[in-house]
């Protein structure tokens, strides 16, 4: 499943909800999202990492935007994330 599809399911309440298998997780981490996206749903957190490529022709053609490449670092403690930094 593409990250954009996963984000759509999260936004529509069709995934990462308490009754789903994914909903049992405190954090859901997806990769290669062309930009950092962090969304909190109650006590759970959905994170889409930025892509690491410097430029995606596909993304530029789809959105007219350039991605924001980088690697995400953060600390987890008791099911919560903190100190989110893109390097």
53-72 pLDDT tens trace: 777 787 778 888 777 788 89
Do the Cβ atoms of 35 and 49 come closer than 8 Å? Answer: no
Do the Cβ atoms of 69 and 32 come closer than 8 Å? Answer: no
pLDDT at 1 over 50: no
Closest C-alpha to 48, from 14, 84, 12: 84
The pTM score is 0.68
Residue 82 structure tokens:
């903190």
Residue with the larger pLDDT of the pair 39 and 59 = 39
For residues 2-9, give the mean pLDDT: 56
Averaging pLDDT over each range in 10-19, 23-32, 39-48, 75-84, which range is the top one?
75-84
């Amino acid at each position: 499943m593409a990250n954009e599809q996963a984000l759509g399911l999260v936004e529509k309440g069709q995934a990462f909800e308490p009754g789903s298998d994914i909903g049992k997780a405190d954090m859901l981490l997806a990769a290669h999202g062309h930009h950092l996206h962090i969304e909190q749903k109650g006590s759970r957190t959905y994170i889409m990492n930025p892509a690491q490529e410097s430029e995606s022709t596909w993304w530029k053609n789809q959105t007219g935007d350039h991605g924001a490449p980088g690697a995400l670092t953060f600390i987890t403690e008791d099911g919560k994330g903190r100190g989110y930094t893109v390097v």
